[in-house]
Amino acid sequence: MAPITVHTTSANHQLRPRFQYDPAIVNYREQKPALIAVPVERRLHRAFLEALVAGCFDGTVAYEMCSPLRDGSVLEVLDRYARRFVEYMKRLQLETGTLPLACDGIRRFPAQ
């Protein structure tokens, strides 16, 4: 699918346990875990991009934060996460010399 993919979206989420106090048993009951957004993990994201590059991906990449954020769902945290992703993508651009990515048979993302 990489050669015909024009756009991909990156995100990283974690499941967090939740509990609710139940006064009838004077204890807490486990609830469904919450899905929260966390900054993109470099290792996982890099492996994903490596696979796209190997398949001739030449599109755009976006960062998604559509769930509550681990460090608080306020504008400052949203900005910090977004800045981290942009800085991460800029570092990749410097390391590879190009973004969007091109298929020329060269592995552009060396293993960490």
User: pLDDT for 58-82, tens place per residue?
Assistant: 788 888 888 888 888 889 998 998 8
User: pLDDT for 28-39, tens place per residue?
Assistant: 999 999 989 888
Considering only residues 72 and 97, tell me which one the structure prediction assigns the higher pLDDT.
Answer: 72
Residue with token string 């010399």: 97
Which tokens hold the place of 76?
């400052």
For residue 86, count CB atoms less than 10 angstroms from its CB and return exposed for 0-12, middle for 13-18, buried for 19 or more: exposed
| Beta-bridge partner residues of 31 | 18
**What is the predicted pLDDT for the residue at 110?**
47
CB-based contacts of 4: which residues, under 8 Å, 6+ apart?
A: none
**What is the predicted pLDDT for the residue at 100?**
46
Q: Are 62 and 20 spatial neighbours (Cβ–Cβ below 8 Å)? A: no
Does the pTM surpass 0.85? The reply is no
Tell me the C-alpha distance between 88 and 20, whole Å.
37
pLDDT band at 86 (very low <50, low <70, confident <90, very high): confident
Q: Are 79 and 69 spatial neighbours (Cβ–Cβ below 8 Å)? A: no
